[in-house]
Structure 1
Amino acid sequence: MAKRSKRSRTLKQHGEDLHRQASPPEAPKRSPALTLREKTLRILRVAPRSSRLLILRDLATLTCLIAFLAWLSTWDNERQFVKTPPLVTLDSIFDGPVHRVGRDLVINGKNECCSVASTSIMLRKQTRYRVTVQASGDPELHLDFWGASGKYDDVEREVQLTAGPKTGSHRFTIDSGDAPEEPVSFRLFFLDKRPIRIENVLLEEVQFSVPQWTLLLIWAFAVALVLLFALRYRDRPVIWAAGVGLVVTAVYFAVPIPQTANVGDNFWYVPTSESLLRDHDLELSEYKNTFGVPPHDWRIKQTERGFYSVFPFGTSLIAAPLVFLGRNFTGDHDSEPDRSLFLAAFTGRLLAGLAAGIMYLVLLHLTGGRRLVGLLLSACFAFYTSQLSIHAGGLWSHNAASLLLCVALYLLVAAQGRLVAFVAPVLVLACVVRPDSTIWALAITAYIIWCHRTSFLAYCSLFALSSLIFFAYCYTTFGIPVPEYYRGGGMTGEHLWEALIGNLLSPNRGLFVFTPIALFSVYGMYLAFRKWQPLYTCLAVGAILHWISISMFRHWWAGYSYGPRFFALLTPLLIVLLVPVQDAFREMSRRARVIVLVLFCLTASWSLFVHIRGATSWETHLWNSNPNVDEHPERIWDWTDWQPLRGL
């Protein structure tokens, strides 16, 4: 009986299994349809009424800010240019070896240099003066200013115009800076042997200003918006990064960087950006009647295809969107040089502030999310290095390259390495901006091979594609795949040993003299090599190679600059290499911590003082020209004439 019941249960179970296999599977239970209100709340991921009100308030604030910025885009700035009546005219200045012929003055040409001196005039401090001279025959003309205290060596050739087939117009500018207010005369030098006719001479005081209240309102709205979102989304690193970038940029705009920071090698970056925006090319022939043409401007090269800047075009490419934004504050004016100087300073400050915000994100990842440490190191990056004295107002190639290096570091450390392949186009663009960025491209490539081999193929593919785009564009534009500047022709190495020491320890170009917190970065390199940390080790090797490469240049002191300008590209890496130091600091004894903290505060205080001097004092920039540092490079080693202390 028991066997029969057991057998019946087995058959019953077997039948149920067969029925289950034959019957179709049950359909999954569907959740009830959501109403539109529930879908909206799910998208917003909020349920309470108070949270929805906060969202609406944030959106309303953002809408007001966008409307305010749109209104500013129509702002009329025609009255922001102030020109005083001419201080000196043709009828009042000359009492030298000239004679009048109607409205003209004729100089009898001689074999030696012929000069004409003006009557005395008074120059005011912190003022820009412009001298415009029209002379027949398009002569080679030079100008200098003399006063009771000596010669003013900061006269810049601003422009050489062509007013007609036989008439040339020459413009010169002088920034008086902190020079004493005294009677000053200027002299014109003509190097031509044939008779020269001066048709007009004009000396005028030109003041260029921008709507400061407008900029102040922009930053006030932007900072308020960031604070609002920071309180609402306090755990979002991007909000904090935006706050860091805005605060740093506001400080940069408040710093009176001398506009002479943008009249050297970097003068043509803004005109090239405007050519890209207007004509979609790099050719600058439209400026030949505004800024001058070769041989009068050594920064321009004339080819069969037109006029081009001799310096890399990558900076102009990156600056183009910011130049477009800055044009809304200047409009179209006759004073193109002043307009370009403002746009260069405007763009340089925005690039430097953006780099500070991205650097905060990099440091936040490297420090394990320690927000206070990230903020402190970001402050060191923004105010204790060349970011303040050089990049906060100067649109240099290493300004844009530093920003790209910060972006590359962020892509390396963010998203658990899933964005490594996208580092390739950023590095290629950095090399286009500044050729010595190739060293950093090699160092970061070594790190990717070391730690991200699975992404290396995609990285190489994007790198090759980006490089091919660059080569193809150069070939179609210049006729050669690699322009001359990218070939490193100035790296002769004739002063290598002097440059290696001078770039670190010289009183007027030494990295450890101007930025002594870099000594802690050197200790970070030592820790990276000792603990064999992949990222820091590769960056340390890149820093050493960068130091050697800039020492190979014939003019290793970077010409007219403040401090070690060639090390400015190294700034993000110097701060990143402080991260191993702060990790080691946490493991030190209490006594060692006190010693290290005191040393760091001393070096940081000196770094801040030095770079504030470079950002606010005209005298520190005039140090390069009195006397000319390129003609007297021995001044780099002169401890009695220290560049940061000039003018004190």
Structure 2
Amino acid sequence: MAPPSPYPGTLKAESFANWQPGILLFIVAFLGFWLSPIPQVQDTDAKYALLVSHRLLTSGQMNLDPFFPEAAGQKDDWRIERAGSHLYYFFPPGTSFLSLPFVAVGKLLGRSIVSPEEKYLFQVEQQLQTAIAAVLMAFLVAIFFLTARLVLPLSWSCIVALGAGFGTQVWSTMSRGLWSDTWGALLIGVALLILVAQEVHGRRMNPVLLGTLLAWSYIVRPTYSIHIAAITVYVWLFHRRLIIRLVLTGACWLIVFVTYSWIHFHTFLPSYYSPGRIKFDGFGVTLAGNLISPSRGLLCHVPAVLLVAGLVIYYWRELRWQRLVGLAGIVVAGHLIVHSSPQGSLGGGCFGARYTSGLVPWFVLCAVLALDAMRRSSSRLPRLALATCAFLLALGVGINGRGAMARETWMWNSDFDLHPWKMWDWKHPQFLAGLNRHRFPQPFSRPRDESILRAVRSKSFFGSVGAGQSKPSAG
């Protein structure tokens, strides 16, 4: 039996007044994301994602043969792979499928990705991608607000939603183009809203809807299988009456996806989904990079994570839904393990901690529950601690704002293959690009440990950036 809601009737669907702040936050977030000038489509994994959508919409085909007639000339484009006699987009097709309605609307409005002469128009795709990403991430901000509103009062819910929207990778990465995490984080965010509503208000979750959200998160990005497995086990442990329908829903979608793969690639799963792509040589170094690299580390780019962790630890005994926080901890650990393989690299040509973008909804969940415990606790944080919390949140907004607003942070990637050591250069991190006069090359102090040297020398450790790279950045 779920515990009674601490704020009975806080979020009633029949009361439009309760939804007005969420709508306002959506508008504010959309404008902030849409007006941010730095797109992340050119020379990234996201390029061609909407071209696949257009191809599917107009011809029912998934291959990109008409746009790359000289197949041999595409061997250096990591986004294109050959399957039999056809050329396909290498990265997961989930983004292309889910973006079909947006591409259809764009086509009706005269913003077609392909010209009447059947020429690919990259600039149009880039404009569509940034607009779609802005809409999706604004919707995610609204989802964060609704999740927080189940537990917290209005003011705190707004702070959580805006802090998560502008102080994390939501602004600096996922709103800049259709990375696979753009759709993935949104799907997981909605799934967590369903879980929180079940736990807090006792609202019976819809296992078919939850199973569909989880299945599509896998189709969008296979590393979300960690999230899927954890949530499925959670439902089995605490809501066992729903597990059969949840699993059957996921199985149905998996059958559809396997059928798609067999038709196009004659394999059960596309090559991107192969477990063999994950190897753990140099695991420790890559894990450190994902956490503390000055240009790719989670803790360096989203310092509010330290705030959330501190609040959870400090108020652990007062947490009313500890099992949800435990679920989040398992997912965070599993996500970091999977992404700390050389095949996972450190995100390639991107800004900041891209590979932990999918964890943002989980951090929001922990923040909401920790703030609820803080508000009810008789043990108040000292003023210095509160000031530190505000500083960390503002710092995250400033750092991620540079990724969305400052062109120099994107140009920082251009010579990365020539100067890979700058990944660990604490004097000139990516988020400060353009604020100093530093230019490469410069001598860097190299790590003394030979295992670190070998790992850092590996291109797969960093991923590929820039035009004409032959290796994928591994999504």
TM-score by length of 1: 0.60
Amino acid at match of 2:322: Q
**What pairs with 1:457-536 in structure 2 (closer than 5 Å)?**
457-523=244-310, 526=313, 533-536=322-325
Q: Which of residues 558, 564, 580 is equivalent to 2:353? A: 564
Question: Contact 2:315 / 2:373 at 8 angstroms: preserved in 1?
Answer: no
List per-residue Cα deviations over 1:525-573 (Å, max 9, x = no partner): 5479765722221111111111111112345311111111101111111
Question: Contact 1:490 / 1:553 at 8 angstroms: preserved in 2?
Answer: no
How far the C-alpha of 1:504 sits from its partner, in A, is 1.4
SS for the counterpart of 1:326 is helix
How far, CA to CA, are the matches of 1:595 and 1:418 in structure 2?
41
Question: Contact 2:315 / 2:370 at 8 angstroms: preserved in 1?
Answer: no
How far, CA to CA, are the matches of 2:294 and 2:77 in structure 1?
32
How far the C-alpha of 1:292 sits from its partner, in A, is 8.9
Q: Do residues 427 (structure 1) and 210 (structure 2) align?
A: no
How far the C-alpha of 1:236 sits from its partner, in A, is 4.7
SS for the counterpart of 1:398 is helix
Question: Contact 1:305 / 1:478 at 8 angstroms: preserved in 2?
Answer: no
Amino acid at match of 1:502: G
Question: Contact 2:40 / 2:173 at 8 angstroms: preserved in 1?
Answer: no
How far, CA to CA, are the matches of 1:236 and 1:419 in structure 2?
25
SS for the counterpart of 1:249 is helix
How far, CA to CA, are the matches of 1:518 and 1:385 in structure 2?
9
How far the C-alpha of 1:590 sits from its partner, in A, is 7.3
Question: Contact 1:524 / 1:579 at 8 angstroms: preserved in 2?
Answer: no
How far the C-alpha of 1:505 sits from its partner, in A, is 1.5
Question: Contact 2:134 / 2:176 at 8 angstroms: preserved in 1?
Answer: yes
Aligned to 1:394: 177
How far the C-alpha of 1:305 sits from its partner, in A, is 4.9
SS for the counterpart of 1:560 is coil
Aligned to 2:472: none
List per-residue Cα deviations over 1:5-49 (Å, max 9, x = no partner): xxxxxxxxxxxxxxxxxxxxxxxxxxxxxxxxxxxxxxxxxxxxx
Q: Which of residues 440, 445, 452 is equivalent to 2:239? A: 452
How far the C-alpha of 1:520 sits from its partner, in A, is 2.2
Amino acid at match of 1:315: T
Question: Contact 2:192 / 2:361 at 8 angstroms: preserved in 1?
Answer: no
How far, CA to CA, are the matches of 1:315 and 1:292 in structure 2?
26
How far the C-alpha of 1:240 sits from its partner, in A, is 3.5
Aligned to 2:3: none
More helix per residue: 1 or 2?
Answer: 2
**What pairs with 1:142-291 in structure 2 (closer than 5 Å)?**
235-257=16-38, 259-289=39-69
List per-residue Cα deviations over 1:280-302 (Å, max 9, x = no partner): 22111121259995224332112
How far the C-alpha of 1:239 sits from its partner, in A, is 4.1
Identity within the alignment, %: 26
SS for the counterpart of 1:362 is helix
Stretches of structure 1 that go unaligned for 5 or more consecutive residues are 1-232
Stretches of structure 2 that go unaligned for 5 or more consecutive residues are 1-13, 436-475
**What pairs with 1:118-129 in structure 2 (closer than 5 Å)?**
none
How far, CA to CA, are the matches of 1:238 and 1:305 in structure 2?
51
Q: Do residues 338 (structure 1) and 123 (structure 2) align?
A: yes
Aligned to 1:156: none
Deviates more, 1:307-316 or 1:342-351: 342-351
Aligned to 2:400: 611
How far, CA to CA, are the matches of 1:240 and 1:322 in structure 2?
25
Amino acid at match of 1:284: L
Amino acid at match of 1:642: P
How far, CA to CA, are the matches of 1:525 and 1:438 in structure 2?
25
Cα separation, partners in 2 of 1:612 and 1:360, compared to 1, 3 Å: same
Question: Contact 2:301 / 2:400 at 8 angstroms: preserved in 1?
Answer: yes
Higher relative contact order (CA 8 A, sep 6+): 2
Amino acid at match of 1:601: A
Aligned to 1:228: none
**What pairs with 1:282-431 in structure 2 (closer than 5 Å)?**
282-289=62-69, 294-327=74-107, 328=109, 330-331=111-112, 333=115, 336-365=121-150, 367=151, 370-414=153-197, 416-431=203-218
Amino acid at match of 1:339: V
Question: Contact 2:422 / 2:429 at 8 angstroms: preserved in 1?
Answer: no
Deviates more, 1:337-346 or 1:293-302: 293-302
Cα separation, partners in 2 of 1:284 and 1:261, compared to 1, 3 Å: closer
SS for the counterpart of 1:552 is coil
Larger Rg: 1
Question: Contact 2:403 / 2:409 at 8 angstroms: preserved in 1?
Answer: yes
Question: Contact 1:312 / 1:433 at 8 angstroms: preserved in 2?
Answer: yes
How far the C-alpha of 1:402 sits from its partner, in A, is 0.5
Provide the aligned C-alpha RMSD in A. Answer: 2.6
TM-score by length of 2: 0.81
Question: Contact 1:323 / 1:347 at 8 angstroms: preserved in 2?
Answer: no
Q: How many residues align?
A: 413
Question: Contact 1:421 / 1:455 at 8 angstroms: preserved in 2?
Answer: no
SS for the counterpart of 1:578 is helix
List per-residue Cα deviations over 1:295-335 (Å, max 9, x = no partner): 24332112225110111100111111112223325256467
How far, CA to CA, are the matches of 1:592 and 1:276 in structure 2?
55
Amino acid at match of 1:297: D
How far, CA to CA, are the matches of 1:265 and 1:344 in structure 2?
12
Amino acid at match of 1:303: A
Q: Which of residues 635, 640, 643 is equivalent to 2:422? A: 635
Cα separation, partners in 2 of 1:290 and 1:517, compared to 1, 3 Å: farther
How far, CA to CA, are the matches of 1:468 and 1:504 in structure 2?
36
Question: Contact 2:180 / 2:220 at 8 angstroms: preserved in 1?
Answer: yes
SS for the counterpart of 2:352 is coil
